[in-house]
Structure 1
Amino acid sequence: MIKPQSNHLRQTRSLDGFWNFKRDKDGIGEARNWFLGFDSECEIAVPGSWNEQRTDLEQYFGIAWYSQTFVAHSSWQEHGVSVHFGSVQNHAKVWLNGTLVGTHEGGSLPFQCDLSRCIVPGKENLLVVQVDASINPWDLPPARIATNAKNEGFHNSNPSVTYDFFPYGGIPRPVSLQVTPTRESIDKIRVDTGLNLESKTAKVGITVTVKDSTACSVEVRIEKAAATAALDSHGVATLYIDIANPRLWDLKTPELYVAEVTLLKDDQAIDHYRQTFGIRTIEVVGNSLKLNGKTVFLRGYGKHEDFPVLGRGLSLPLIARDFDLLKWTGANSFRTSHYPYAEEWYEFADRHGILIIAETPMVGLCERLFESDDIKAKALKLVRDMVDRDHHHPSVIMWSVANEPWIESQKGTDFIKALLSEARSQDSSRPVTYVAHNGIEINAACRDCDIVSVNRYGGWYDYPGDIETGTAYLGKVLDNFHSTFGKPILLAEFGADAIPGEHSLPSIMFTEEFQADIIEAQILAAESRDWVIGTHVWAFSDFKTGQSITRAVRNHKGIFTRDRLPKMAAHCIRRIWTETGQA
């Protein structure tokens, strides 16, 4: 689907604000017809996670109900009207005026519901959303089953999840109405760019999918060039436009184009959409990653959508601040660990020249999940949906299909290989990877990666407190992965916790000095290997986790605090990366 947009034919109306909210601890809401209205216990802000907006909701992981009203314009009788959710964590059911209009599983990607057939023009309409944030061992990412805890990723936390970040609930991204002149409207736009660096030409393919019509045609205009095609029997049209001497999207010159897509019926425009895209190449050549034919070295971070009070809620000022800090440290990239982020992050990166490794929410995968055909089908769909949403972003240079899967059998290897194959089949223009941990013996699927991504914490989890031995061990791990799989390596996670304000001479674990020392030693060790294509420090900033004896309030591996104040490591990294320059 395409993100809501306002133009001369389309209207949007934001539904962000304070929504009525009620917990449903016993799951009785549907039986009692709460979708027709309910007695609110409080108001909750949207976008935003519910857990940090009220003290009594901080540890609530269950079902809750949201409601909001809006007045539909009297002209909307024949219009196409839908409601678009940037995301709901984790599962949603949506009703309008008591009629179920849509459901969605998963908390990191958008969905929309058609309201056209049950909206009441000129009247107040009631929108109700059931949000299920239950801790479920069969979700992606999954909760933990105690009997299997040893091999289920990060464990021994409260709540009991397999991953090391907080399982927020709520509606963390914007909600808006999209109104089109008719129900026949543009549903999807895919832009594929083929660039020939030698001839300095580009061929742009635009595939447009239309809903509720096959009797229309599509016109696409890119600057002075244009093409028109009729829809096929499936409501799809594919058009090609050649561009001579294209302006290339790059780190220093993030040039963007706009495809003006118009839906025509009887030669009249009935819908219009402006789709941005960039023209560039990204490929693995030998032991190098090439952007537009030139070697690029990835310097950056893993990070989270996480901030005080907001939880995972979208904040535009936070995006601006984080990108400013990325560039201040000399970084040129980050990974969307461990789920797709809000679209606004990618759009900002498109405009400002930052590279993104886009990751699925497949973290905490383990053997019982690999044995389930239903989970595999759900995981493959998540890969497709992520690629479908983010394919047009030139900032996205790689797909990561999983983080730290615990593989104990051929089924696990085949599962990860299937995800890699799915990503590659959906988009052959970008490298694919998954992020490995532990040893080569459980990571045979790395053979199917274009780039092998490795997480390792020498001197922290391995040889704790011993930077010299830990760094040497990290080097041996990287050497082993490279010699075994023969692929370029991304050091995707490394680092140490530092509690802000803790200092020691000599440096010891949990102090700012220790964190700065270990990160510097391991950046230099990794970057001395000519087959390492990047170093991503874990993490950009401190973030909220479940409660655990291994986490003092939160994960403190950030080089910035949770509210974005620099630790010593931030200054250290800035010195290293700005002195050597961005690739």
Structure 2
Amino acid sequence: MKKLLIILVCICVTALAYAQDSLIANINARKSLSLNGRWQYIVDPYETGFYDYRYKELNEKAGDAYWNTDVPKDKTEKKEHGYIDKYSLEVPGDWNHQKTEFLYYEGTIWYKKSFDFHAVDNATKYFLYFGAVNYRADVYLNGKKLGFHIGGFTPFNFEIPASLLKEKGNFLVVKVDNKRGADEVPTLNTDWWNYGGITRDVKLVELPHSFIQDYMIQLKKPVAGKAPAIKPEVSGWVKMRNANAGETITITIPELKFKKQFVATADTTQLNFILPKLQLWSPENPKLYRVIVSTANEKIEDKIGFRTIEALGKHVLLNGKPIFMRGISIHGEIPQDVRRAVGEQDALQLLNQARELGCNMVRLAHYPHDEAMTRLADSLGILVWSEIPVYWTINFGSQAVLNKAKAQLQEMIARDHNRASIIIWSVGNETPISQTRTDFMHSLITRAKELDPTRMVSAALEVNYASLKNVNVVDDPLGQFVDLVAFNEYLGWYGGLPDQCRKTSWSTPYNKPLFVSETGAEGKWGFHADSLTRFDEEFQEWYYKEQVAMLKRMPDNFVGISPWVLNDFRSPKRNNPLYQEGWNRKGLYDDKGHKKKAFYILNAWYNEIKNKAQTN
């Protein structure tokens, strides 16, 4: 009986963990109330508001629980918590940059927002939507727990019982815990700062009883190696919630004078249609169409580009033609403010820096970035590698960890599967080789292809250094499952000096495109000495000169590179007191936006590649 009780408790906890509703797509196109702005907070490193003194989770109605009101019923009631304006934080935003005392804080902070609400006639369902909360979020409304979410960079939503909402004084509380854990994704050890907080938008969304939950509208994958047909075929689906029998779904693309109706079948209705006179999306022509998905109850508008992408033999083909990716890796951080990036203005800063460098591609490392990044990349014509934080030493033997990774993968893809700019879903970075790890990663690759068969799937693989004389071989066994063989290399920074590149060549046993997903060296802007002095600009400049010379000798399946990294970024692993001071200095821009000497080396090579492609 005791064993059965334990099992039932575990089932209940698991059910609550995954009790969130499936993600609602294109949240900005929905009727909603923004809950951004100032939120009051309580710092709770001992989690006093969650556990009693025996370290048992507090009863939902416990007066001492921080998710319940802080207003005493009368002068005799004891309340040991309170929310006041003196202690408030801006949402969206990480807490680390907002208060000096939070610079290195990792732990629990309770956020509280009061709001009024007026129901509309045609809305019968209400959801709380969070763009991202790092890392675990427990969400309570008016003393009732809606659920919790694990994962710091992907969106989630919970349905709100209509009876729970009040016209005045709703009491929304979110327990945010950004402590790192050995069985989390990412795990304990990372080379970036663990910004905590409600880091992206919060919305109260109003929807009809029967509504469009999600949709995917993309060009059908072409026959291998062939360009899209003269009359390109679109395939996809629309997922309804509570669809009425015989309900009609209409797809409209006004510019193409296209309109077609489909009868809803079960929850998910398959789409297939031809789009004549279609302009294909590309970096040179980032054409987006206004696409309207509508039913009798609602109308959702989106801007969608249409293109095909595939890895075939030695090449990556965009719209059937080989492409070389002039990339850069980017952290979701605004270095001059020492904060997590959020919103369109931040995305514009980062992507404009990449364009100034000469890039047509960015690797968004090492986690899904704010949605503004991928939507702006669509508009600007920048190819995107999007990644989940399966990083370094994840617990590859744990099914629970695999489930967390799959959940983040699914949320990343669900949010962005209509973004033309995204051509690569990445399932991880620099994971150490073992059969257990390969099985773990293969499972993620399989899942990514099930969720989205139209894009390439990859990961930053391990390298077998000097397995042959002066030849480094990318033979990571995971290479047999990815579409693009990508690898990180730092010849001349980690081990040896940059001139080591002169006698080095690269190969892979896989008949697939080869991509350098990272390379770089540290250099502090304004520190000048000579090319042999570590951390000065001249060393970093020399490093890039030698790298470029080596990359020009790469085999003919070499299809691109995303050096590490666009900007200097915070990292608690980088503690040289003169040159790092808690910053990784591999950026081509420093933390104040200055270009380093290495910037001009890479920029010149990228311009050379671009000009050569235009003349061919």
Instruction: Decide: shared fold, TM above 0.5.
Output: yes
**Residue 150 of structure 1 corresponds to which residue in structure 2?**
none
User: How far is 1:33 from its partner?
Assistant: 2.0
The 1-side partners of 2:275 and 2:221 are apart by 9
**Residue 220 of structure 1 corresponds to which residue in structure 2?**
251
Equivalent in 267, 274, 279 of residue 242 of structure 1: 274
**CA deviation digits over 1:134-178, x for unaligned, max 9?**
1211110001xxxxxxxxxxxxxxxxxx11001111011111222
- Secondary structure of 2:538's partner? helix
The 1-side partners of 2:552 and 2:206 are apart by 51
**Residue 18 of structure 2 corresponds to which residue in structure 1?**
none
Residue identity in the other structure for 1:48: G
- 1:80–1:185 Cα contact (<8 Å) kept: no
Equivalent in 234, 242, 253 of residue 204 of structure 1: 234
Equivalent in 410, 422, 426 of residue 400 of structure 1: 426
Equivalent in 555, 559, 564 of residue 533 of structure 1: 559
**Residue 152 of structure 1 corresponds to which residue in structure 2?**
none
Equivalent in 39, 60, 65 of residue 105 of structure 2: 60
The 2-side partners of 1:313 and 1:289 are apart by 30
The 2-side partners of 1:2 and 1:165 are apart by 29
**Residue 173 of structure 1 corresponds to which residue in structure 2?**
200
**CA deviation digits over 1:363-419, x for unaligned, max 9?**
1234xx111122122222322222222211110011111100012x31122112222
User: How far is 1:258 from its partner?
Assistant: 2.6
Q: What is the correspondence of 1:506-517 to structure 2 with a 5 Å cutoff?
A: 506-517=531-542
Q: Quick check: 1:3 aligned with 2:26?
A: yes
- Secondary structure of 1:502's partner? coil
- 1:227–1:240 Cα contact (<8 Å) kept: no
The 2-side partners of 1:488 and 1:441 are apart by 12
Equivalent in 29, 34, 51 of residue 66 of structure 2: 34
**Residue 405 of structure 2 corresponds to which residue in structure 1?**
379
- Secondary structure of 2:445's partner? helix
* Cα pair distance change 1:423/1:74, threshold 3 Å: closer
- Secondary structure of 1:220's partner? strand
The 1-side partners of 2:155 and 2:344 are apart by 18
The 2-side partners of 1:88 and 1:232 are apart by 35
Identity score, percent? 28
Q: Quick check: 1:486 aligned with 2:514?
A: no
* The 10-residue stretch of structure 1 (115-124 or 505-514) with the greater mean CA deviation from structure 2: 115-124
Q: What is the correspondence of 1:188-203 to structure 2 with a 5 Å cutoff?
A: 188-194=214-220, 197=227, 199-203=229-233
Q: Quick check: 1:557 aligned with 2:602?
A: no
**Residue 527 of structure 2 corresponds to which residue in structure 1?**
502
- 1:527–1:535 Cα contact (<8 Å) kept: no
**CA deviation digits over 1:4-32, x for unaligned, max 9?**
235xxx42222111111111111121332
Q: Quick check: 1:458 aligned with 2:491?
A: yes
User: How far is 1:78 from its partner?
Assistant: 5.0
**CA deviation digits over 1:474-507, x for unaligned, max 9?**
x43x33xx2x333221111111001111111344
**CA deviation digits over 1:273-317, x for unaligned, max 9?**
113221111112221111112221111211101124462240422
User: How far is 1:127 from its partner?
Assistant: 1.2
Q: Which has the larger radius of gyration?
A: 2
**Residue 148 of structure 2 corresponds to which residue in structure 1?**
103
**Residue 580 of structure 1 corresponds to which residue in structure 2?**
609
* Cα pair distance change 1:114/1:456, threshold 3 Å: same
Q: Quick check: 1:24 aligned with 2:44?
A: yes
The 1-side partners of 2:204 and 2:549 are apart by 50
Q: What is the correspondence of 1:272-421 to structure 2 with a 5 Å cutoff?
A: 272-308=299-335, 309=337, 311-366=339-394, 369-407=395-433, 409-421=434-446
The 2-side partners of 1:412 and 1:552 are apart by 34
Residue identity in the other structure for 1:219: T
The 2-side partners of 1:441 and 1:259 are apart by 42
User: How far is 1:255 from its partner?
Assistant: 0.8
**Residue 153 of structure 1 corresponds to which residue in structure 2?**
none
Equivalent in 600, 609, 612 of residue 571 of structure 1: 600
- 2:344–2:376 Cα contact (<8 Å) kept: no
Give unmatched runs, 5+ long, in structure 2: 1-23, 51-57, 59-63, 71-81, 465-472
- 1:49–1:310 Cα contact (<8 Å) kept: no
* The 10-residue stretch of structure 1 (61-70 or 283-292) with the greater mean CA deviation from structure 2: 283-292
- Secondary structure of 2:378's partner? helix
* Cα pair distance change 1:202/1:486, threshold 3 Å: closer
Q: What is the correspondence of 1:417-436 to structure 2 with a 5 Å cutoff?
A: 417-436=442-461
Q: TM-score, normalising length from structure 2?
A: 0.84
- 1:307–1:563 Cα contact (<8 Å) kept: no
The 1-side partners of 2:209 and 2:166 are apart by 15
User: How far is 1:547 from its partner?
Assistant: 4.5
Q: TM-score, normalising length from structure 1?
A: 0.89
- 2:530–2:539 Cα contact (<8 Å) kept: no
The 2-side partners of 1:227 and 1:567 are apart by 53
- 1:88–1:171 Cα contact (<8 Å) kept: yes
- 1:37–1:67 Cα contact (<8 Å) kept: no
**Residue 125 of structure 2 corresponds to which residue in structure 1?**
80
User: How far is 1:46 from its partner?
Assistant: 0.9
- 2:106–2:196 Cα contact (<8 Å) kept: yes
**Residue 154 of structure 1 corresponds to which residue in structure 2?**
none
**Residue 146 of structure 1 corresponds to which residue in structure 2?**
none
- Secondary structure of 2:450's partner? helix
**CA deviation digits over 1:50-88, x for unaligned, max 9?**
112111111211111101111101536953222211100
User: How far is 1:355 from its partner?
Assistant: 0.4
- 1:219–1:262 Cα contact (<8 Å) kept: yes
Equivalent in 546, 550, 557 of residue 572 of structure 2: 546
Residue identity in the other structure for 2:248: S
Structure 1 stretches of 4+ moved >6 Å: none
**Residue 467 of structure 1 corresponds to which residue in structure 2?**
498
- 1:195–1:279 Cα contact (<8 Å) kept: no
User: How far is 1:226 from its partner?
Assistant: 2.1
The 2-side partners of 1:138 and 1:210 are apart by 34
- Secondary structure of 1:578's partner? helix
* The 10-residue stretch of structure 1 (531-540 or 416-425) with the greater mean CA deviation from structure 2: 416-425
